[in-house]
Amino acid sequence: MAYLKAIELNIIMWIQSFATPSLDVIWQCITMMGEETWMVLVFSYIYWCYRKDMALFLSFSLFSGLAVNSVLKNMFHLARPMGEPGVRVLRAETATGYSFPSGHSQMGAAAFSSLYFWWKKKKLLFLAIVASLLIAYSRLYLGVHYPKDVITGLLLGWGVSFLCYYGFTHVHRRYLLFLVVGGIAVLGMLLFPGKTAYQSAGLFIGFFLGSWIEDRFIVFQPYQGSKLRRIYRWILGVCGILAIRLAIDLFVPSPLVWLTGYGFLAFYIYALYPLIFTKLRL
């Protein structure tokens, strides 16, 4: 293991030997493609203003991937290269928790590959491969992951998104599928507890309850209204997301806050805000 670690550290330092101030900025921007901010913005627009079924699949894929990632991180407890001699670290605030597998690499691969699986366009396949590899490389350049972390993250991202697409398109009782996978996420949280495990379990619970309630009792039409009206609806909804995130941060961090806070956030996205903008005819 020590020999393998030495090889991986040499790879990281070789990559960082080409560093320049301009590349620092570029790779920090690229690594953001594996973060939740843009995914929440894009997926919430798709759900509220474009296609509910597509947004449900994308969410199912990402939440499943997040649950798998959190279980593996808490199972293996592998440290990051941060602090190792010769390794330069950038954007350290994105490197929380354990190292293996890379969450950015996995989430980026899952997001872009899910878009390809849904639309089945060759251009999207090319985008999915290139974007995934760039995000994975950025984690090495920034000195926050080992090569094995990003390789495993890529494989998991592509693999989990494919399995989710297959289940989403072949299982007729879709909400039963969400319930079963969400139950597995909760079980993973209980067996391998940690911040991301509580967050992912909360997201899955809120996602399942919110999407089920919306489908049974709200049934909004995302494509209703003018384009300007839909953008206005989306902007107001995003303000609500930001408010909930800020409210979660006001509490003392704890498993209960992570679980219920992220559960309510997902419930807001999939049921509460659709109910609000339906009643207000936004």
91-129 pLDDT, tens digit per residue, is 888 777 889 999 999 999 999 999 999 999 889 999 999
CA distance to 13, 80, 132, 139, 144, per residue, from 9 (Å): 6, 11, 21, 13, 11
The confidence score (pLDDT) of residue 104 equals 93
Average pLDDT over residues 11-34: 94
* Predicted TM-score of the model (pTM): 0.93
Q: Summarize pLDDT for 233-280 with one digit per residue, the tens.
A: 999 999 999 999 999 999 988 999 999 999 999 999 999 999 999 998
By the 8 A CB rule, do 269 and 203 touch?
Answer: no
H helix and E strand count, the chain = 12, 0
Mean pLDDT on 42-51: 94
CA–CA separation, 67 and 13 (whole Å): 31
55: pLDDT strictly greater than 90: yes
* Angle at alpha carbon of residue 216, lines to 210 and 221, rounded to 5°: 80
Q: How does pLDDT run across 128-139, given as a tens digit for each residue?
A: 999 999 999 999
Per-residue pLDDT, 138? 96
What's residue 15's pLDDT? 95
pLDDT tens-digit map of 178-224 = 999 999 999 999 999 989 999 999 999 999 999 999 999 999 988 88
- Integer Cα distance of 123 and 116 in angstroms: 8
Q: What is the pLDDT of residue 43?
A: 92
